């Protein structure tokens, strides 16, 4: 199992459908949209446009949520990488959104390549794709 907590075992399809609805709500909601906008700013501000996987940060490099934390001076030192409840509280968003971002960073963005710069481009594109414009809202 990954740090996102996602699993390939979708034995209960209804539960899976409900969870995907929670992810969609987390993305569309006011707090989720605010985090996505903050994420875009953090990604664009990165001096080196690369993202790592499976941890918040190491040697001055970060995953997507780690980049937001670093940009906003949020300490994640005491946060367990797999404690999505605490991470969600830290970023003031739903746990399902945190799991989705972690999944996309660690596994979703690397389906085509594990290259850190491609991961950055993939995650930036995913963030932009999920930001609802003011007109749509």
How confident is the prediction for the chain on average, in pLDDT? 88
Predicted confidence (pLDDT) per residue in 82-119, tens digit: 999 999 999 999 999 999 999 999 988 666 567 999 99
Positions of E strands within the chain: 57-58, 61-62
Most distant pair of Cα atoms in the chain: their distance? 43
- Residue 113's pLDDT is 66
Predicted confidence (pLDDT) per residue in 54-75, tens digit: 999 999 999 999 999 999 999 9
Predicted TM-score (pTM) of this structure? 0.85
What is the residue whose two structure tokens read 């409840």? 85
**Nearest-angstrom CA–CA distance, 93 and 34:** 9
Which residues does 79 contact at the CB level (< 8 Å), separation at least 6?
A: 56, 86, 87, 90
**Which candidate, 119, 96, 43, 111, places its Cα nearest to that of 87?**
96
């Amino acid at each position: 199992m990954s740090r996102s907590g996602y699993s390939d075992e979708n034995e209960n399809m209804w539960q899976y459908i409900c969870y995907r609805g929670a992810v969609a709500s987390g993305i569309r909601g006011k707090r989720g949209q605010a985090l996505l906008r903050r994420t875009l700013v953090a990604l664009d501000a990165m001096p080196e446009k690369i993202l790592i996987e499976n941890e918040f940060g190491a040697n001055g490099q970060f995953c997507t949520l780690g980049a937001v934390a670093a940009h906003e001076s949020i300490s994640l030192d005491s946060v367990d990488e797999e404690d999505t409840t605490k991470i969600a509280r830290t970023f003031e968003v739903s746990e399902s959104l945190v799991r989705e971002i972690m999944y996309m960073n660690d596994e979703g963005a690397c389906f085509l390549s594990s290259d850190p710069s491609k991961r950055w481009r993939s995650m930036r594109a995913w963030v932009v794709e999920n930001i609802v414009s003011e007109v749509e809202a």
